[in-house]
Structure 1
Amino acid sequence: MRIRLFQQLFILITASVLVAVLSMAAVMALNLQRGFDGYLAARDTEELELFVDLAGRKIAASGGAPALQAGRVTLGGLLGDFAAAQGRPPRPGRPPPGMGPPPGPDGRPLPPPRRGPDGRLPPPPEEFGARLILFDAAHRVIAGPPGAATFPADRGATRPIRSAGKTVALAQLIPRAPIPGGVEARFLTSQYYGALWLAALLTALGALAAWGLARLGARRLGRLKIATDAIAGGDFGYRLPSHGEDEVDDVARNVNRMAESLARLDTARRRWLAEVSHELRTPLSAIRGELDALEDGVRPLDPAAVASLNEEAKRLSGLIEDLHFLAMTDLSGQPCRFVPADAVAICAKTIARFGTQARAAGIALTFETVGDPDPSVRWDVARIEQLLANVLTNALRYTDAPGQVRVVLAAVGTHLQVTVEDSAPGVPPEHLEALFAPLYRLDAARSRVSGGSGLGLAVSEAIVRAHGGTIVAAPSSLGGLAIRIDLPRVVAA
């Protein structure tokens, strides 16, 4: 049988409360028993000391130890005087001043108490006098309850009775024995029952609180389960309410963010497939049109036709290479070969390749360094040249003539910063972050007619990321777009 989370939480919390309450009740009962026993022992000791003081004065007034030995002073008489001094008259049925057990109904003394199966005498009554043993100076029993001679000398409180500075007797008080139905037993029993009822009440309240907490927690986790099931089933629009600041609300907010990310990824995946298929279809359609024209004899098979087909094939090949590069970068990171190189030489070489194209388009292409940067770097030269070529191609393609494209190399701490900025037209600020998305085009400045695939800046961003750098787009001081590339001088393999 499957135990639900609500039941598990309820059982766990209730069991914890029950263990805590029972432990508290046990400790309380133990402390109560020990404390009450200590209180009774302290009261007996105090009463014994008062009796010893009175007995010493009585014996001294009667002639000292000889009076005790001659029987002129008896334990019963001392107990009577002690009761009178304490304001407690002798109880009916108790022995009068003197020794001996209380008389029976016929006036004759009662027989001695019977011993139990274990040979022991029954416990003495709770009264002070019934538990008192009187010894002489030689520790011989003078008076006491039945079995006093066999009572251990190290049990109970013992105090000397002094007369004229000498010990004339010893008084030993037998400890109280638990008597069923006695005052002390009834008091402890009432306290135990009170503790038991308190424990039951606390357990009930704890179980009620556990039920509420477990129910609330299970309900909130149940909503999380419903949300994750919906998201796992493809419903990325499902959202969880989160108004608090606890951990469950944090999880709910994370689930909502996960759903938003998955929705964006799903939309990007669908858009990616649609745009890739469209980009591949464009050169394929051109190649197929050329081949149909050649097959139908509309266009002769001459070097111009072959060159046209070759141009479309190169465009298709470049598009496929860019797509493969981006796919490999997303999957496992594009492998790079980092070698010592000269940053100034890399920039100058790449810019020189575009000099003729820039002049033909009526655009001034310039290169400058700021602060005489140290050119020593450790980069993947081929990838950095591809990065600069993509950015320069984008700048030259979407800059109106007459215009200007400027490349600046500057040192920024342990990094080198390459800035490629062009003149008008510019890019609206709300579109700057989207420029590095694959196949993204801004209609005002980009067109398939110009030959762009929409992958150049995306590939550039992947190369920069592989080198541990950053690339951002911002408005240019020349009126167009500025691409700032920040690369560390040394990249670990």
Structure 2
Amino acid sequence: MSVLKIRRIPIALRLFLTVLLTALVISTVSLWVLHWNMQRNFTKYVADVEMQKLDHVIHNLAGVYGVYHDWGNAIQAQILQIEGQAGPEDYDRLSRWWLRRQYDIALQQRYFEEHTLMNVAPTLAEPDPQKRQASQEELKWLEMNLPSEYRPFEGLKFPLSAQQNTTRVNQGSAQNPRPNQPQSDGKKQFISMPDRLGLSSRLALYDAKRQFVVGEPAEGQMSYRPILMNNQVVGYLGLKPVLDQDDALSINFFSEQKRYLLLIYGLSFIASLLVAWLLATYFKKPIQRLLHGTRELTKGNYQYQVKVNRNDELGDLSTELNQLAVILDQHETSRRQWVADTSHELKTPLAVLQAQIEAMQDGIRKATPEHLDAMMRQVSSLKKLTQDLADLAQAEAMQLKFYLAPINPWQVIEQEVENFRPKFEQAELSVRLEGEAVPLKLDIDRFKQIMVNLIANSIRYTEAGGQVHIHSEQTATEWSVYVDDSPFGLTDEQLARLGERFYRVDDSRTRSTGGTGLGLALSAKIAQAMGGQLSFAHSPLGGLRCKLTFPIPTKQ
């Protein structure tokens, strides 16, 4: 037992751990899914944002495809525009470089368009006249050397190995694309724009069936933008995401996000800890009060009341527990009264018998038939009392045996009234019967027992010259018999106590007539056990009305 007590986990602790662990599991799973989803989809989101910067490239590629109607033919034809004798690897190098060159051309064209729009309002773009003049000259020079997407390699000559750098023939920058020395032969200069976002190294061209054509292929994720011509897809421009899980930039980015997620997780843990503790405390206090209340009931303190002011199941439980305490207190009071009454009822006839026997032993009385008859009446009273006690105990324990059979209850009443005729005459009472027969399914002996008690009670408590009226009443579902008598009448308080064990309205009168005070209580229990009901009210004749009701069996 000691081991079980040590290992027992209180319900408040269980509730605390359950709420805490549930909150932690939900937070852990949510943050892990968020982190996983960010690693999986955020790089694609960044690539989609970058793809929006490639609208000019896509527009140019659509125009190129409209001229050649095939990507391979377009690349080959534009390479053949270069003058001179190609080296062994020049065609391969230019094929790999063709898409990057288209990107450079789109950058230059967009750069020119943006700065041209800025010079529409020169005072707003550059208030200094000298600087504005230099900017205008630069735009004129850029316009003269502005490349075309249809001649991407203009300014190059074969062989490429004779030039310094295929991708940067003339050094320039986005801020100053103009070279230091002008071109003297009248041809456009080859200018390469700086790629700050590094998009050109991640571009790839695919045909309409998403078959790789040229560029930088990617085995993993790829963002695609369709290339449309006359509302028909002729190819796709693909962009490899810049954020890769193995890149230093990506590692730093996701490390920073992980720190924020861990901070959120820590705050969630603290909040869950606080909420779980408050919730456990909220339930622990009323449970402890209920536990203390049950312990008081176990000790026999039935007047103890649990105070739990809650509008939930625990509040309902406390109300039911308090009601149980009231019922137990009533039962205990009734039990004590039962024992006291029983001992009192048994003590009187036993004392009389003892006195009579002692008188005979001392020679004061002789064992005459009269004295023996008086002793026999006391024995009969004891026998009736013990039999009534036994029957009442069995009735309350639902252990009385019944043998139900179809009977005519009114015929039984007529027979019992006839049996009591001498007593009615002796008590100078008139009796009147008015009723009709109805088939009921009852135990005839138990029904007789009830009627005997009711009739005897009327004879016992009705004054001489009074009357007893027995009549029946019937509805579609019930049959009732009324036993009305004339005064003695009862007060409302006396009427409310009828049916209690050992309760007598006139104790001295009942003892003189041999009553035990159990008849009405026993009759009520027997009637209830057979599916009926015995109730009491004031009689129209001025005395007591006893109403015995039974349900009428339905026809099968």
Shorter-chain TM-score: which interval?
0.7 to 0.9
The answer for unaligned runs of 5 or more in structure 1 is: 90-95, 104-124
Counterpart-to-counterpart distance in 1, 2:212 and 2:17:
63
The equivalent position to 2:274 in structure 1, one of 182, 186, 208, is: 208
Q: Partner residue of 1:118?
A: none
> Partner of 2:397: helix, strand, or coil?
helix
Equivalent residues in 2 for 1:324-473, closer than 5 Å: 324-369=390-435, 373-443=436-506, 447-473=510-536
**Seq. identity, %:** 25
Cα displacement (A) at 1:391: 0.9
CA 1:325–1:58 in structure 2 vs 1: closer, same or farther (change >3 Å)?
Answer: closer
Residue 131 (str. 1) matches residue 202 (str. 2): yes
Equivalent residues in 2 for 1:306-325, closer than 5 Å: 306-325=372-391
Counterpart-to-counterpart distance in 2, 1:24 and 1:130:
36
Cα displacement (A) at 1:273: 0.8
Equivalent residues in 2 for 1:293-304, closer than 5 Å: 293-304=359-370
Amino acid at match of 1:83: L
- Cα deviation code 1:392-433 (max 9, x no counterpart): 111111112221111112222232201111111222223323
CA 1:160–1:231 in structure 2 vs 1: closer, same or farther (change >3 Å)?
Answer: closer
Q: Partner residue of 1:80?
A: 104
Amino acid at match of 2:167: M
Q: Partner residue of 1:42?
A: 48
Counterpart-to-counterpart distance in 1, 2:535 and 2:486:
17
Residue 221 (str. 1) matches residue 287 (str. 2): yes
Q: What is the root-mean-square deviation of aligned Cα atoms in Å? A: 3.9
Counterpart-to-counterpart distance in 2, 1:431 and 1:364:
25
Decide whether the 8 Å contact of 2:483 with 2:547 is kept in 1: yes
Counterpart-to-counterpart distance in 2, 1:246 and 1:158:
60
Decide whether the 8 Å contact of 2:65 with 2:74 is kept in 1: yes
Decide whether the 8 Å contact of 1:427 with 1:480 is kept in 2: yes
Q: Name whichever of 320-329 and 179-188 sits farther off.
A: 179-188
Cα displacement (A) at 1:238: 0.8
Amino acid at match of 1:99: T
Counterpart-to-counterpart distance in 2, 1:153 and 1:12:
42
CA 1:160–1:295 in structure 2 vs 1: closer, same or farther (change >3 Å)?
Answer: closer
Decide whether the 8 Å contact of 1:467 with 1:488 is kept in 2: no
Cα displacement (A) at 1:340: 2.3
Q: Name whichever of 463-472 and 439-448 sits farther off.
A: 439-448
- Cα deviation code 1:254-312 (max 9, x no counterpart): 11111111111111111111111111111111112222222223223222112111111
Counterpart-to-counterpart distance in 1, 2:358 and 2:337:
31
Decide whether the 8 Å contact of 1:423 with 1:478 is kept in 2: yes
> Partner of 1:432: helix, strand, or coil?
helix
The higher radius of gyration belongs to 2
Alignment coverage as a number of residue pairs: 456
Decide whether the 8 Å contact of 1:76 with 1:98 is kept in 2: no
Q: Partner residue of 1:282?
A: 348
The answer for unaligned runs of 5 or more in structure 2 is: 1-6, 84-93, 116-163, 172-195
Cα displacement (A) at 1:52: 3.0
Amino acid at match of 2:350: L
Q: Partner residue of 2:124?
A: none
Amino acid at match of 1:13: V
Q: Name whichever of 202-211 and 443-452 sits farther off.
A: 443-452
Decide whether the 8 Å contact of 2:470 with 2:483 is kept in 1: yes
Counterpart-to-counterpart distance in 2, 1:341 and 1:7:
65
Counterpart-to-counterpart distance in 2, 1:261 and 1:199:
53
Amino acid at match of 2:31: A
Counterpart-to-counterpart distance in 2, 1:79 and 1:85:
10
Residue 99 (str. 1) matches residue 167 (str. 2): yes
CA 1:366–1:84 in structure 2 vs 1: closer, same or farther (change >3 Å)?
Answer: same
CA 1:58–1:357 in structure 2 vs 1: closer, same or farther (change >3 Å)?
Answer: closer
CA 1:386–1:86 in structure 2 vs 1: closer, same or farther (change >3 Å)?
Answer: same
Amino acid at match of 1:10: F
CA 1:79–1:290 in structure 2 vs 1: closer, same or farther (change >3 Å)?
Answer: same
CA 1:178–1:363 in structure 2 vs 1: closer, same or farther (change >3 Å)?
Answer: same
Cα displacement (A) at 1:127: 1.7
Cα displacement (A) at 1:38: 3.5
Q: Partner residue of 1:256?
A: 322
Counterpart-to-counterpart distance in 1, 2:15 and 2:335:
42
> Partner of 1:316: helix, strand, or coil?
helix
Q: Partner residue of 1:3?
A: 9
The equivalent position to 2:260 in structure 1, one of 182, 185, 194, is: 194
Counterpart-to-counterpart distance in 2, 1:153 and 1:451:
108
Cα displacement (A) at 1:177: 5.1
- Cα deviation code 1:344-375 (max 9, x no counterpart): 21000111122221122122122111xxx443
Decide whether the 8 Å contact of 1:409 with 1:418 is kept in 2: yes
Residue 19 (str. 1) matches residue 25 (str. 2): yes
TM-score by length of 1: 0.81
Cα displacement (A) at 1:17: 1.1
Counterpart-to-counterpart distance in 2, 1:365 and 1:384:
20
- Cα deviation code 1:125-153 (max 9, x no counterpart): 9621111246999x999975xxx5x8669
Amino acid at match of 2:467: Q
> Partner of 1:300: helix, strand, or coil?
coil
